Structure 1
């Protein structure tokens, strides 16, 4: 397995790119005529599940999920650690339908970006933080009202293993205003699929879904407290997972 790993990784990226291109073409033809829930399953869930499967089959990126019993019956705001690309695929396939906060430049990518546009993502301008916050609040509320989970990586970008990024309060603010909880998710995917480079390391990615967290009160203080509570839980769980992986 190790000797053939570079070839397996190359094959993985080839198939990932090929299936993305081919599937986007199919989706652009058929998906516009589907209602949102079916469109999400057709466009995102199927391909992201395929991406996770390719990683498992070709590169040995297996995974275990802990805390699935914590998932609320009603969609809410998901706050997840961001270390790699893997968790984007996994979370998008695991929760449906789902709206993701992403940088608007991604929608300009031919075929891929056009297909993403069909899913009504919250495409923000990172150069204008204040406008981005207003956009997340407005479009996030609309997504929750139509029964979609809202995925937010509060660090804003992928953060290398062992490092912590500053948590944006946009997700906590959205949850408080909607009267819904945040669902924290921690994982150690970055240890197997690093932020930088093409290299991959076979292993078992641990995903921990925490208990739904509700705000204690309303207003800015409640938002700040909820955000800090989610940040502390995620960072603590990530540290535990990374320590366990090193020990094993």
Structure 2
């Protein structure tokens, strides 16, 4: 792992911003005429794959995946560790179609937000956690019934490498109520694309996809148990790839959902 020179970092952000603007503008005019699945592939999947490709070519952020055999055929709830922006690009480019929880304000951004709004995101108001949980339960269930993956970052926000945030039960509750499992995913992307600052480090991101976790029963106890097991698996996986110190206590998330 080495620090990427400033010039290459600037070039990366220039190319990322340029492709984003162009793609969003084109998508606003093309996407309305496509089916949802084709729209997702055109607007999100292709661009997110372009973003991870740019990260690989320009700043040297590569990746390796373990556990591909654990991905179920039927879409379910993905519970993923959140450290950086990289995993959002990667997961949205790898799983399709996918709906994720986003801040409602993002939908108001010209072209970018307009394009995103056509992709059935679960756009929540983070200032109202109770309403956000109800919205996640309702809209998330609808997406799952439509065979759409639902991505939830249970920590609620990006947590620096070496730490893990407390898990909200929203994703686990969604899975239990839909009678579907959760798919836990761990990674160490924050080592190469840090939460803070613009700097990047070249190296290989380890993405670990765990076995699906099923609830044992229903109701609040089953939700709490499933959430605890997902937390335990991701914590252990983070420790094994060197992204979390053994027996680290979870930190409070400033933006729980």
Q: CA deviation at 1:14?
A: 0.3
Higher-helix-fraction structure = 1
- Cα distance change on mapping 1:243 and 1:130 into 2, 3 Å: closer
CA distance in 2, matches of 1:242, 1:18: 34
Contact 2:4 2:202 survives alignment (8 Å): no
- Dislocated runs of 4+, deviation >6 Å: none
Q: RMSD across aligned C-alpha pairs, in angstroms?
A: 1.4
| Partner SS, residue 65 of structure 1 | strand
- 2:43 is aligned to 43
Matched, 1:200 2:200: yes
- 1:73 is aligned to 73
Q: Please, what TM-score do these two structures have when normalized by structure 1?
A: 0.96
- Cα distance change on mapping 1:197 and 1:39 into 2, 3 Å: same
- 1:132 is aligned to 132
Q: CA deviation at 1:147?
A: 1.1
CA distance in 2, matches of 1:164, 1:3: 24
CA distance in 2, matches of 1:185, 1:133: 21
Q: CA deviation at 1:163?
A: 1.4
Q: Deviations over 1:188-242 (max 9, x none)?
A: 0001110000011000000000000000010000000000100111111112212
- Structure 1 spans left out of the alignment, 5+ residues: none
| Partner SS, residue 198 of structure 2 | coil
CA distance in 2, matches of 1:150, 1:189: 20
Select between 4-13 and 173-182 the one with higher mean Cα deviation: 4-13
CA distance in 2, matches of 1:44, 1:243: 28
Q: Deviations over 1:31-70 (max 9, x none)?
A: 0111110000000000000000000000000000000000
State how 1:26-41 maps to structure 2 within 5 Å: 26-41=26-41
CA distance in 2, matches of 1:3, 1:168: 34
Q: CA deviation at 1:3?
A: 8.8
Q: CA deviation at 1:5?
A: 2.0
Contact 2:4 2:59 survives alignment (8 Å): no
| Partner SS, residue 106 of structure 1 | helix
Contact 2:158 2:195 survives alignment (8 Å): yes
- Cα distance change on mapping 1:159 and 1:177 into 2, 3 Å: same
- 1:168 is aligned to 168
CA distance in 1, matches of 2:243, 2:174: 32
Q: CA deviation at 1:243?
A: 5.8
- Structure 2 spans left out of the alignment, 5+ residues: 245-257
How many aligned positions are there? 244
- Cα distance change on mapping 1:27 and 1:220 into 2, 3 Å: same
- Cα distance change on mapping 1:5 and 1:215 into 2, 3 Å: same
